[in-house]
Amino acid sequence: MSYLIPDRFEHGYGLSPAIVDLAAARRPDLILTVDNGIASVEGVARATSLGLPVIVTDHHLPGDRLPEAAAIVNPNQPGCEFAGKHLAGVGVMFYVLAALRARRLASGCIDPDKARLADLLDLVALGTVADLVPLDRNNRILVAQGLRRLRAGRGRPGIVALARVAGRTLDRLSETDIGFALAPRLNAAGRMDSMTLGVECLLAPDEQTALALAAELDGLNRDRRQRQGRMESQAQAQMERWLAAAEDEDPLGYCLFDADWHEGIVGLVAGRLKERTHRPAVAFARSGDGRLKGSVRSIPGVHARDVLANIARARPELLPRFGGHAMAAGLSIPDAQLDAFRRAWLGELERWMSDAVRERRLDSDGPLTAAHLTVETAGVLENGGPWGQGFPPPSFDEQFELIDQRIVGDAHLKMRLCPVDGGPIIDAIMFRRDQLLPEGRPLHCVYRAELNRYQGREQLQLVVEHVQPAGAC
């Protein structure tokens, strides 16, 4: 058994003919795809012509034509009655193995003790959270079970090592740790170098090998973070110059490029920009072959891939290659077409950005009364997870007096708040806000109630997502 991870820029998306040729050189009996293949009509045809059967396992939406594979397993293909429509690629593969196991047990050709699929649940949890699929009931069960095994010390060496280099406590490992500590370290491999390092870490047979690989991944993640920080300040400066020149304080979207930017990180920069401005954003890096490689991040109501498809239909020469989905897409444009693309991008956005779409919307579960602003509530919420994509943790909103505030670590705003209707004084933090709030007036805050663990003590901490002077809205 061996694996191949396509470099999507070198080999194209999914099981392309180029990647089939690479695979064929290893003389396999069979090609099995994971998390791709449903759109690979040509690649599957190539494999078939070489006498290689293909089993496609995927979760992406199929196009008009399905590949002629030996078998296709995809909960989102027409006629599939499997209830878990939001499985990640790793989840689909898990069920394929479960079906195979059942079949082989029935025919008596395996020993049940030797095929314990529960041992794979740590990987399923990791892949499900990292792929940002909606946490429907089925996925929540998979993630919760995987986390349980990890906390009990039954995770594979690679995942345990990743948690260790990230300084996370294994016996309390949470979906947040996976999303914010483990996944970024694994993904750093693909962004900065090659994903192979990430896979090798997950496959590591023992603690020592795993720790060495995890340390390497941690280093790559440090580089990534540094690079991203630099790119983000350049993006900010560019944005300000652009706003000043265009005399437009509130453009419909952003389209930024810098010759020094790293192509593995443009998506993160576009994402941060979108987050801050609530406008669709695309960031480009040079790809070295006379083209610019870009990443789009969009907002609800603006379908990223459809925006690109409309541009490509009107001006095919601007946009020879693109792909993606509603919230994120990738594209490649000829170097010389950047300005033309930027005009087309802003022009197309005019059709999408209605007043309703432009407005940022925050959902809140209402106020928490003073009696519920407690460590116990935060504990109940923490145990109610796993929370995540499509199943966000409850957030609340109400008015507070600002008791005091300070910026910590150059980046986050720490506050002490007291409900205007009376109640305890509570610690609060607003991440990535490096400006103080106006004082002397109550604040309307949208927040999550979390447990802050510090020096062995548990305290209630409000994580403020949005704040504005009370009565402003």
For residues 284 and 338, the answer to whether their CB atoms sit within 8 Å is yes
Question: Token pair of 393, please?
Answer: 């943790």
Is 74 or 332 the residue whose CB approaches Mn ion more closely? 74
- The minimum distance between CB 63 and Mn ion, in angstroms, equals 15
Q: Strands, DSSP E only, in 66-218?
A: 71-73
Is 103 or 325 the residue whose CB approaches Mn ion more closely? 325
- The minimum distance between CB 75 and Mn ion, in angstroms, equals 12
- The minimum distance between CB 132 and Mn ion, in angstroms, equals 9
Nearest residue to Mn ion by CB is 35
Bridge partners for 28 per DSSP? none
- The minimum distance between CB 186 and Mn ion, in angstroms, equals 14
Is 136 or 232 the residue whose CB approaches Mn ion more closely? 136
- The minimum distance between CB 131 and Mn ion, in angstroms, equals 5
Is 37 or 89 the residue whose CB approaches Mn ion more closely? 89
Is 93 or 214 the residue whose CB approaches Mn ion more closely? 93
For residues 281 and 294, the answer to whether their CB atoms sit within 8 Å is no
CB atoms within 10 A of CB 50: 12
Q: Could you give the strand order of the β-sheet that contains 254-257, starting from the edge strand earlier in sequence?
A: 254-257, 281-286, 291-297, 328-334, 321-324
Cβ within 8 Å of residue 404, ≥6 positions away: 415, 416
Is 12 or 89 the residue whose CB approaches Mn ion more closely? 89
Question: Token pair of 391, please?
Answer: 């199943």
Q: Is 393 helix (H, G, I), strand (E, B) or coil?
A: coil
Enumerate binding residues for Mn ion (CB under 5 A). Answer: 35, 89
How many angstroms separate the Cα of 7 from the Cα of each of 11, 38, 56, 141, 196? 6, 17, 18, 32, 11
- The minimum distance between CB 265 and Mn ion, in angstroms, equals 20
